[in-house]
Amino acid sequence: MSGVIYDRVALIGLGLIASSMYWAIKRAGLAGEVTGYARSQETRGTARRIGLCDRVCDSVAEAVKDADLVVLAVPVGAMEEVARAIGPHLKPGATVTDVGSVKRAVIQSVAPHLPDGVHFVPGHPLAGTEHSGPESGFAELFEDRWCMLVPVDNTDEAAIARLKSLWQGFGSNVEIMDSDHHDLVLAVTSHAPHLIAYTMVGVADDLRRVTDREVVQYSAAGFRDFTRIAASDPTMWRDVFLNNRDATLEILGRFTEELFALQRAIRRGDGDHLHDYFTRTRAIRRSIIEAGQDTDAPDFGRKKTPR
């Protein structure tokens, strides 16, 4: 038990990450009260029905009133609009953070709308599933995962330490990182892989010589993993690519070069090149398992499908 870190936390946006934060806060007793707001009346109704948040508010101003921590858990493209709406209602000394997977664009969108005396500590938990919505959250989502904090210049150190303690209370490992480096790292580890997954699933849909039934029935593990990634929230990922354009395009350019080299090796029958390349990439997989970021269980721990 970490004890109460914030008297009042406001969650703006009530999807997977915010709902998981709420359940994690309640599990460890990390806040006195948690308010919540979602733009959709339907989402607010769902939150009330399942007991998500101590108080679900019908306006963003009501949700952030007197909050010590405000969490922006909305798509990156909506951050500026939300920041503009909450700015006049934030209490002095409050901390504002976010959970978006792009940081430079979020800082540029949010920071100008926050009043003096409010601390801005952008964040990004590297955790998630292909599911979205208020009913998809669970307290264990952040356990043994990394959360990146990306403070803006001259941020109060006590505010950073306090937010770090919250994420550690969720069971996360916390790293402080520069915004541009964060965006490049995520382009490599998340953004480009998601775009490739979307593309591969789209290619399968375009290959009319392979029927829909065959794509579903004979999906090997690799394609199944692509479909899981490609099932992620389309609004969120649209905003990610539009707001991390430079880093993503840089990594996709590198990917294209690597893909051309592999195409050339296959065309020439260069087995040595292929074997050496796959050996190097296999070592990265082993490193991920050794770091505790995945399991080496047979079939990646997937449940067997009943016959």
List pLDDT tens digits, range 42-93.
Answer: 999 999 999 999 999 999 999 999 999 999 999 999 999 999 999 999 999 9
Residue 40 neighbours by CB under 8 Å, 6+ apart = none
277 occurs within a structural domain: no
Same domain, 43 and 132: yes
Residue 265 neighbours by CB under 8 Å, 6+ apart = 273, 274, 277
Which of 177, 208, 232 is the endpoint of a domain?
177
Indicate the pairing of strand 123-125 with strand 146-149. antiparallel
pLDDT at 257 over 90: yes
Domain housing 30 = 6-177
93 occurs within a structural domain: yes
Same domain, 83 and 144: yes
Average pLDDT value for the chain:
89
pLDDT band at 272 (very low <50, low <70, confident <90, very high): very high
262 occurs within a structural domain: yes
Same domain, 171 and 55: yes
151 occurs within a structural domain: yes
1 occurs within a structural domain: no
Same domain, 146 and 192: no
Same domain, 143 and 223: no
Provide the pLDDT for residue 215. 67
Provide the pLDDT for residue 209. 64
Same domain, 116 and 173: yes
Region of poorest pLDDT, from 30-34, 53-57, 141-145, 195-199: 195-199
Same domain, 167 and 192: no
The tally of domains found in the chain comes to: 2
Rounded to the nearest 10 degrees, the angle between the axes of helix 192-206 and helix 234-243 is: 120
Same domain, 159 and 26: yes
